[in-house]
Amino acid sequence: MLLYQPESGYCYNSDSIFLYNFINTFKPKGKMLDVGSGCGIVGLLVARDNPRVSLEGVEKQKAFMEYTKINARVNKIEYTLHEQEFLELNSEYKYDYIISNPPFYPMGAKKSEDEMLLNARYNDNLPMADFFKKVSRLLKPNSHFIFCYDATQFFDVCTELQSVKMRICDVRFVHSKVDRTASLVLVHARNGSKSMMKVHPPLIHMDENEYSKEAQEIYDKAKTQSIKCQI
């Protein structure tokens, strides 16, 4: 998949690729919303591999919207875009799937002065409690919320999901190397579910100085080619 993205500032990384792969394991279909879609990478990859997905995205940064429009057109994927704050989205429809690689750096983290990076990375731009509450209102009954987050905030993720009556069904932690603590957590939650949480084997990104076998397989499946440019 050919993907145009900003020449400088925020660019997609392994988080988006691993999230796409995690979403694919659930064989999604139906109406899907990508929250904070950025250049469109996660939703476009999922829609490419799952033709029964009807894709929408919401993104507040106009520059990213332009990249997403180009990427959808180049890759011949239908994509309905909403240029606004997710918390202000007033959709008349409910969704089967809501997916997101949201801003999750904690408010105490050292912040970038780049506006695009600031909006894409830090969770005070989309507070967890407000984020999850809005998601719960936009999902159909027994539907799916699949996202990634900072692994060190997993306790808060569990607490806030429970407060909006959503249950984690699947979770997978991502480690940069086998002897490192988890840096990312992939979460699949549902509203109205009574299933026990399934904790999947960890995903190890690097094996010494090379990608692990699984990580390389995920990158090969994604088949992304990035072009950095200014539009």
109 confidence band (pLDDT: 50, 70, 90): low
The pLDDT score that the predictor gives to residue 6 is: 87
Going by C-beta distance under 8 Å and a sequence separation of 6 or more, which residues neighbour residue 171?
Answer: 154, 185, 186, 187, 188, 197, 198, 199, 200
Q: What domain range includes position 191?
A: 2-229
Q: For residues 155-164, b (16+ Cβ closer than 10 Å) or e, as one string? A: eebbebbeeb
- Please answer whether residues 26 and 50 qualify as being in contact, where contact means their C-beta atoms are separated by less than 8 angstroms: no
Whether the Cβ atoms of residue 80 and residue 55 lie closer than 8 Å to each other: yes
Displacement of CA 125 from its chain's centroid (Å): 15
Band of residue 229 on the pLDDT scale cut at 50, 70, 90: confident
Q: Are 77 and 50 in contact (CB under 8 A)?
A: no
Write out pLDDT tens, residues 113-167: 545 544 445 556 789 999 999 999 999 999 999 999 999 999 999 999 999 999 9
Which residue in 224, 222, 226, 197 sits closest to 21, CA to CA? 222
- The DSSP H or E segment spanning 206 is strand 206-207
The tally of domains found in the chain comes to 1
Question: Which pLDDT belongs to residue 124?
Answer: 63
Please report, for the domain that includes residue 62, its CATH number. 3.40.50.150
pLDDT of 119 reads 47
Residues paired with residue 168 on neighbouring β-strands, in sequence order: 189
Round to whole Å and give the CA distance between 174 and 177: 9
Please report the pLDDT score of residue 194 as a whole number: 86
Strands 182-191 and 139-150: antiparallel
CA distance 86 to 68: 16
Determine contact, residues 229/7, Cβ cutoff 8 Å: yes
pLDDT more than 70, % of the chain: 91
Q: Which residue has the tokens 């932690």?
A: 173
**Shortest CA distance to 37 belongs to which of 77, 137, 51, 50?**
77
- Looking at residue 117, what is its pLDDT? 47
Q: What is the pLDDT of residues 12-27, one digit of tens each?
A: 899 999 999 999 999 9
| 101 Cα distance to chain centroid | 3
* pLDDT score for 125: 74
Residue 61 predicted with pLDDT over 50: yes
pLDDT for residue 93 is more than 90: no
